Amino acid sequence: MEIFRLSIYLLIIIFIGFNILYLLSPKRNKLYFLEKIAISYGIGFGFVSLEMLIFHFFKLEFNINEIILPWTILFILSAFVYFKNRKNIIVHEKIEADTKAHRGLKIFLIAAITFEILYAFFRALVKPLEAYDAIAIYGIKAKIFYLAKSIPYDFFRNLALSFPHADYPLNIPLSETFVYLFLGNLNDQLVKVIFPLYFVATLIILYFGIRRFASQTCALFFTFLLASIPQFSAFATNGYLDLQLGYYYSTSALFLFLWFKSTEDHQFLLISAVMVALAGWTKNEGLMYCLVNIGLISIFYAVDREMPIKKKLFHLFSYISIIAIISLPWLWIKGSVHLANDEVQFANLNISYLSKQYYKIVPIIYEFQKQTFGPKKWNILWLIMIFVLGFKYKDMFKKNQRYISIAMSLTILGYVLSYIISRSEIHYALGATWSRFLLHFLPIVMYWLANIVKEDIEP
Amino acid sequence: MKDRILKLAFTTWIIIWAFFIFRELFIKSRFSDYKILLSRSLEGKRSYVTGDKFYEFLTFCKRNLPQSAFYDLILIKKGDIELDKIRAIYYLYPSLKKIDPEFILIYNELADEKIDHGPFVGLEERGFIGTREGAGGKGVAYYLNPQAGKDGSKFVLIYNTPDKRKIEYETFIKLDNNKYILRKKKI
C-alpha cells in the first residue's frame, strides 16, 4: 500500500513539473520525452517545496489536498494552451538513427547502467536515513515539519538554531515532508526513493545532452562512466544533497550551452534559469552557480556581436528575474531572521584578510591532487581528463567547448575562494567537502569530455 | 594508436569499477549487512544502523521521557560519538537537547572497561569527567558521582561557565546500571 501511495506521489510530482515545463515554452517542443520526464521530476519537487515554504508565510498547515489543489489551475491552463497551440508546435529534429556498429559494447553499456541504477535503488532503500548530514541537517527538519504539519511559525528564529546549518535551503527537507504526508507516516526508509531518482534523472539528461551531437554509443559510454563513478553512485543513496545540486546545476548549464548554440530556442534559456534557481533552493552553493551562469551569459554577449543589444538585455533581464522570483521567498526568510552561514563569511572578502590566507593554497592543491590520483571515489576520471586536455587542449577553446571550460574554471575559482574566506580549519574543510563539491559539476565534466573526444570514439 | 589507448583506458576503468563493487560488497562486508537488513522490519533496520544496544537505549528514553522534554546526553562509548549524538537527537525529537535540561540521559557502554580514550577522557577516582563543546565555546564539564552507576543515587552537573552552577539530578528511570535517565532534583 505504501509503495502504491509512493508511486502516486511521484506521478503527481512529475505531472506538476511536466505542466510547468510545458508552460515555459508551449510553442516549442525541442525536448525528448524521457528528457522531459527527467527535468519535470526536479522541477516538480522544487516548485512543490517552494509552495510549502509559501504556506509558511500564510501560516497554513500542510495538507495533501491543499498542497495539490493550487496546481489544478496549472493543469487547466496548460490544457487550454495545449489545445490552442497544438497545430503550431515546433518540434525537435529527430535523433539520427545509430549505426549498427558496436552492438556488443552498447548492450554491455546498457546492462552496466541498468545495474548501477538498480544497485543505487537497492542501496538507498535497504536502510533508513542514517548518514550524518542526511539526518542532522535535512532529515530532522523534514521530521519537524511533518510532526507539526507545517513549518512552525517561530521555526527559523528558534527551533532551526538547535540543529546544524539553519541557513541551508529547504527544497529536499520539504520534499521529504511531502513524502511523509503522502505515506501518512515517518517512513525514513521509503523517503529515500527521492535520491536514486535524481541519479536516474541526471543520467537521462546527460545521455540526451550528448546524444544531440554524438552517436548512441558515445552517449551511452559517457552515461556509463558517470553512473559507475563510485562517489557519484554512493551519493545517490545516502540522503546528502550534493547529487541533487549536481542535477539542478548540470541541467541548467547544459541547457545554457544548448541555448548558446541556438539562441532562438528560448525554451533552453528558460529551463536553464529555472534549474539554476532551484539549485540555489537546494544548497547554498547553488547561488554561486546562479552567478556563474549569469557571468557566462555576459561573456557570451561580449563575444557574440550579432544579437541586438535590446534582445541581449531582455534575455539577461528575464534570466535574472526568474532566478530572483524563485529565490526570493527563501532569501527573504534568511534575510529577515539573519540566517547566516557559519563557515563561509563574505565579510572576509577584503584584501587585508585575503592577504593572510595564502597558506591555504598548499593544502588546497594537495587535496586536489589527492582526489585526482585516488581511484576509490573517482576511478581514473581525473587522470583521463588530464590526459585528454594535455593532448587536445586546443579543443577546450573551440566554439562550443569554450563556455563549458569557462563555466568549470569559474566554478573551481568560486570553490577555492570559498575555502580561502572560510573560517573553518582548512584541512578539515577540504577533507569534508571537496570530494562532494566535485559532484556538483561532475555531469558537466562528462559533457565536456564527450564534446572534446566525440570524434575519437565515434564508430 | 588512439584505439589502443581508448581500449586500455576503458579496460582499466572496468577493472577498477568491478574491483570496488566487489570490495564494497565482500571485503567491507556490505553483503552481510544487506542480508541482515533485508531480514529486518523498518524498526529493526533503524536499530541495526544505529547499533542495537544504543537504539534500545534511545527507544527506552523515547518511551519514558515526557512529550517534548528537554534533555542532555552523555555518551561514553566507542565509535563515532558525534554521529551517535546526532542520531539520538533525530530519534528523540520532539524532545530537544539543550544545556541545563530537565533530564540527563546517560549511556555508558564502557563501564566495565578502563576509560582512557574517547572524548570523555579521564577516569578519576570519583567518576567520569568529560567536557563538551557548547555554552558559547566555554565547554560544559560533567561530573558523575561514582554511586550513580551503581545505585543511581546522585548526579551532579557542574557548568564550567562563569557562574559555575551546580545542579543536582536524581535517578528518574534505569534501563540498567549503565544506561539510565536522570531528572533535575526538585528543590
CA–CA separation, B112 vs A408, rounded Å? 55
Please report, for residues B76, B132, B181, the alpha-carbon distance to residue B85 in angstroms, rounded to integers and kept in the order given.
11, 12, 16
pLDDT (mean) for A35-56 = 96
CB contact under 8 A, B83 and A132: yes
Provide the b/e sequence for B136-153 (b: ≥16 CB within 10 Å). Answer: eeeebbbbbbeebbeebe
Of A139, A163, A384, the CB nearest to B9: A384
B36 touches chain A (CB under 8 A): no
Nearest chain B Cα distance for residue A67, angstroms: 24
CB contact under 8 A, B94 and A130: no
pLDDT (mean) for B117-130 = 38
Nearest chain A Cα distance for residue B151, angstroms: 33
pLDDT (mean) for A84-95 = 69
* Residues forming a β-bridge with A292: none
B51 contacts in A (CB within 8 Å)?
none
CB contact under 8 A, B6 and A457: yes
HSE-CB of B44 using CA atoms within 13 angstroms: 10
CB contact under 8 A, A140 and B89: yes
pLDDT tens-digit map of B139-155: 444 555 444 444 444 45
Nearest chain B residue (CA) to A123? B34
* A and B: number of Cβ contacts within 8 A: 66
For residue A192, name the pLDDT band (cuts at 50, 70, 90).
very high
pLDDT (mean) for A205-210 = 97
For residue B117, name the pLDDT band (cuts at 50, 70, 90).
very low
In the prediction, which pLDDT does B133 show? 44
What are the helix and strand counts (H, E) for chain B? 5, 9
Q: Which range, of A104-108, A195-199, A208-212, A343-347, averages the lowest pLDDT?
A: A343-347
pLDDT (mean) for A268-281 = 97
pLDDT (mean) for B89-94 = 94
Of A122, A147, A457, the CB nearest to B94: A147
In the prediction, which pLDDT does A61 show? 93
pLDDT (mean) for A237-250 = 96
> Model ipTM?
0.89
CB contact under 8 A, B94 and A162: no
The residue with greater pLDDT, A113 or B111, is A113
Helices A194-211, A426-457: crossing angle, 10 deg rounding: 40
CB contact under 8 A, B42 and A187: yes
Quick check: B118 pLDDT over 70?
A: no
CA–CA separation, A432 vs A136, rounded Å? 15
Name the range with the highest mean pLDDT among A114-118, A152-156, B76-80. A114-118
CB contact under 8 A, B82 and A139: no
In the prediction, which pLDDT does A169 show? 95
pLDDT tens-digit map of B152-171: 444 555 544 445 566 677 78
Provide the b/e sequence for A345-357 (b: ≥16 CB within 10 Å). Answer: eeebeeeeeeeee
CB contact under 8 A, B38 and A126: yes
Of A130, A225, A456, the CB nearest to B49: A130
Nearest chain B Cα distance for residue A127, angstroms: 6
